[in-house]
Amino acid sequence: MKLQNEINLNLVPDEGENFSFDAEAIKKSSAFDEIALFHESNSINIFITPIGSKHFEVKAEINLKRPLNCSRCGEGFEDWFKETSTEYLSLDKDEEGEDKGFLILESPKWTWSTFVVESVELETPYQLYKNGEKCLEYCVHYDEAVKKGWISIEENKPNAFSALESLKGKLN
């Protein structure tokens, strides 16, 4: 059986509803192929709470083993993503809902897998290092990268932009 990627918000009872997906269920959806490796502890729990009849609070507890690449050496590694993401949905198209932080849906069928994938992508740090400090300091290409000026050793070391600024200062 394929994993149901949509939840019909109109069918959520007033007291709210929980949707739990375990590792086996997650594996059935190709939606997570890019962001998760199979692991028996993978889980996604979605809690939907109606606010009135056309508004909903959704919370997703996401626990996924992620395939990652080191920002320094490029080597692959795995790490856990464990976050709770919240979003507010509205089925009221006439309202200025977006100003209040609601995402307005065209249909009551909410694609929860897209929300989970976007949350994971947004909340994963831009730079990740396979071996932590070791990868920060050492890389087979590190010396060459420093020599060519692609990276600077210290944060306070003048970068190309500030060097240009000081050059401009000298010319003026």
Q: What is the full DSSP assignment across 27-56? A: HT-GGGTTT-B--TT-EEEEEEEEETTTEE
Binding mask 138-157 for Zn ion (x = CB under 5 A): --------------------
Nearer to Zn ion, 70 or 91 (CB): 70
What distance, in Å, lies between the first and last C-alpha atoms of the chain? 71
Nearer to Zn ion, 12 or 135 (CB): 135
| Phi-psi sector, 88: left (phi>0), alpha (psi -120 to 50), beta | beta
CB of 71 to Zn ion, least distance (A): 7
Segment near Zn ion (CB under 5 A); pick from 8-16, 48-56, 116-124, 131-139: 131-139
Is 72 near Zn ion (CB under 5 A)?
yes
CB of 68 to Zn ion, least distance (A): 10
Q: Considering Cα of 74, then 77, then 46, then 108, what sign does the dihedral take?
A: positive
